[in-house]
Amino acid sequence: MSFGGPYLGILACRESLLRRIPGRLVGQTTDRQGRRCWVLTLQTREQHIRREKATSNICTNQGLMALRASIYLALMGPEGLREVAHLCLQKTRYALEQITRTGRWQAPFARPVFKEFVIRRTGQDMEALVDAAAKEGIFAGVPLGRWYPELADAMLVAVTEKRTQAEIDRWATLLSE
C-alpha cells in the first residue's frame, strides 16, 4: 500500500495510560523458512535518530495521516460512516456472489467477508490473469502465490464503496471468460 507508507493505525487507551504507550511496538512473525523473527510494527522516524530515548509517536507523516482521517471522519459523521460500511459489505457480498455463481471460481475460505476475500480457480495462472485484466483497465486482485505457494491459483480481491455494480459485473465477466 502507498509504496511503503505512510499508514494510519488508531490506538486507543484510557487517558490515565496515555503517557505509558511505548514509542515502538514489536511484532513476532515467521520468515519464508519458518524461522521466528521480529518486526517493528509501530515506529517513528525519531526512533532511527534517538532510538531508546524516543518517546513521541508523532512525526510529519503520522500527523498528516491523522489530520486526513480526522477530516474524513468529521465529514462523514457516525451515520455516513455506517452507510459507507454498509455499502462496502453489500458490494463485497455482491462481487463474491457474481464471481462464484458460474462455478468456475470458488471461495476457499468459508468465512464472513468485509471489503476483502480470496477467490480460487484451479489451474489458472493468476499473474497472467491479472496482467490481462490490467490491459482492460481492471485491477483484478493480488495473486497470492508468491507469498503462499499453496494458493498459487488464488488471489485476494478488495471491494469498497467506490465500486459500482457495473464495474463489479465487468470484473466478474472478465474473470469468468
Q: What is the DSSP string of 55-74?
A: -----HHHHHHHHHHHHHHH
Which value, to the nearest 10 degrees, does the dihedral of the CA atoms of residues 33, 39, 41, 47 take?
Answer: -160
Is the per-residue pLDDT at 7 higher than 90?
A: no
CA angle centred on 92, ends 90 and 95, rounded to 5°: 110
Give the CATH fold of the 78-176 domain: Aspartate Aminotransferase, domain 1 (3.90.1150)
pLDDT in tens, 114-156: 999 999 999 889 999 999 999 999 999 999 999 999 999 999 9
What's the maximum distance between 2 C-alpha atoms anywhere in the chain?
58
pLDDT in tens, 67-114: 888 999 999 999 999 999 999 999 999 999 999 998 999 999 988 999
pLDDT at 22: 72
pLDDT in tens, 44-75: 555 555 555 555 555 556 677 888 889 999 99
Domain ranges of the chain: 78-176
Q: How far apart are CA 54 and CA 44, in angstroms?
A: 9
Which value, to the nearest 10 degrees, does the dihedral of the CA atoms of residues 129, 132, 133, 134 take?
Answer: 120
